[in-house]
Amino acid sequence: MQNLNGVKKMGFLLALAAVLLMVASSVCWADAFRIALTQSKSGAARKYRPLEAYLKDKGIDVKFVAARDYPDAAKMFAAGKADAMFCGSGVAGTMIIKEVASPLLRPVSKAGHSTYWAVVVAPKGAEKFTGTADFFKDKKVLAAKLASSGEFFYRSVPGINDVNTTYLPAANHGAAIDALSKGAADAAVVKVWVWESMKEKYPQLAMVGQDRGENPDGTLIISNKADKALVEKVSNAIFGINDDYSAKAEAVREAMDMRFFTKTTEEDFEHTLALLRRAGVSKSFNFAF
């Protein structure tokens, strides 16, 4: 009888251990914070590795989810396969319009800026862009897909659908500038800071116009489905970097070429959201035109 009781007790303990293991596994899975990153440019995820290490040091299990490009990342995020995403304002604004995400923060660069705007680039000697579609008539135009300073700006220009113009998708802003220099198109719409960093390499090109509003740069947006307690933990840890001068915090600032993180709200996207809506983005937008 005593042996039978012992067997029953052992069976109970094993069953309890199995249940506890299942609970622990589910907790670990739930505590993993998944951040989507695009790979449209070689090494795009590398600058976030020190942040990953920093958050893990704070007890937060971070997992990066790779995406091929903006459309792929946007679809992945909207489908709930990620809790957050560092992204351009075009994708961030689209997520806001679709009511699937909210902005949390963005970095302020070492140069002191945290916003950007679109510029129109063309071969030197080209006419000036005055804000209307007439400039694009009979032209081939390069622009990064789903970028507020790329495809979205191009499609937001008044009258763009009434002129004979051809949109050529580019993998990113740099690729658009390079392709333009090789004669692949007549103009390109790109991010101002990318143009500023590359213009010396392309003396045959010139900026011929620009947007009149600014967009938040590199915003971390949070899924509305993400665990609120975990989001608060992540938020506190990331904002804590601002007052942390340890080697790991410095590594984050260096890798992301930033001074500090600044809080970002939907109000910061006022210009971006108006631009996206003019381009045709609505709640039912499926990340492609």
Structure confidence by residue, pLDDT tens digits, 214-255 = 999 999 999 998 999 999 999 999 999 999 999 999 999 999
Q: Residue 46 carries which DSSP code?
A: G
108: its two tokens: 């302020």
The pTM (predicted TM-score) of the whole model is 0.84
pLDDT in tens, 127-144: 999 999 999 999 999 999
Read off φ and ψ for residue 45, nearest 5 degrees: -85, -15
- Is the pLDDT at 40 greater than 60? The verdict is no
pLDDT in tens, 82-109: 899 998 899 999 999 999 999 999 999 9
Q: How far apart are CA 96 and CA 269, in angstroms?
A: 9
**Model pLDDT, residue 78:** 78
Sheet holding 219-223, edge to edge: 61-67, 32-38, 84-87, 219-223, 101-109, 258-263
- Is the pLDDT at 28 greater than 80? The verdict is no
pLDDT in tens, 131-189: 999 999 999 999 999 999 999 999 999 999 999 999 999 989 999 999 999 999 999 99
**Model pLDDT, residue 45:** 73
- Is the pLDDT at 5 greater than 60? The verdict is no
Structural domains present in the chain: 11-111+223-279 (3.40.190.10), 118-212 (3.40.190.10)
CB-based contact 140:168 (threshold 8 Å) = yes
